């Protein structure tokens, strides 16, 4: 059974969020919903359930390309889209690189496997039957 927690008021949650956002801005860190929820003594899910607007605000600030300063205005939808696009391109580049590496490893393992099988067959005096000959005999 989960422990019951006292849900703070909207005003208290907003005040805590403002303080937390100012701290993050001063320290150059990106805010997280989880950290604010912990500060209020709530689980992440409970915080998101009771304060969806605050969670959305933090998520928006977090997805910005750089921490905001007090003088900046909210980014335009285009700027948010550009930032997300750049993030997806970086992820795509990384995944493509990993895929190339994995394919090279598979090729190397296939060659190693073939040479080991050949060595095993030659040492065990096993004659290899070509699969193309089987089809002709039947």
Instruction: Report yes or no on 5 lying in a domain.
Output: yes
Residues 67, 92 within the same domain: no
Q: Give the residue-averaged pLDDT of 125-131.
A: 72
Within-domain flag for 135: no
Q: Are residues 67 and 29 in the same domain?
A: yes
pLDDT tens digits for 60-104? 888 776 544 554 567 888 888 988 999 999 999 999 999 999 999
10 located within any domain:
yes
Label residues 51-71 b or e (16+ Cβ within 10 Å = b): beebbebbeebeeeeebbeee
> Does residue 137 belong to any structural domain of this protein?
no
Asked if residue 132 is part of any domain, the answer here is no
The residue range of the domain holding 14 is 1-72
Tell me the per-residue pLDDT of 8-64, one tens digit each, with 9 for 90 and over: 999 999 999 999 999 888 887 888 899 999 999 898 899 999 999 999 999 888 877
CA-nearest of 43, 36, 7 to 21 is 36
The whole-model pTM stands at 0.44
92 with 116, same domain?
yes
Total domains in the fold of the chain: 2
C-alpha radius of gyration, the chain, whole number: 29
């Amino acid at each position: 059974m989960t422990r019951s927690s006292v849900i703070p008021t909207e005003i208290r949650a907003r005040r805590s969020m403002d303080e937390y956002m100012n701290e993050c801005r001063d320290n150059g860190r990106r805010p997280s919903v989880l950290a604010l929820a912990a500060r209020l003594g709530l689980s992440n899910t409970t915080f998101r359930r009771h304060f969806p607007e605050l969670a959305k605000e933090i998520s928006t600030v977090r997805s910005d390309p750089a921490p905001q300063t007090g003088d900046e205005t909210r980014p335009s939808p285009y700027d948010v889209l550009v930032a997300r696009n750049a993030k997806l391109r970086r992820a795509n580049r990384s995944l493509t690189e990993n895929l190339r590496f994995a394919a090279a490893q598979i090729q190397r393992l296939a060659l190693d496997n073939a040479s080991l099988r050949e060595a095993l067959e030659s040492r065990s005096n096993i004659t290899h039957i070509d699969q193309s000959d089987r089809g002709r005999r039947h």
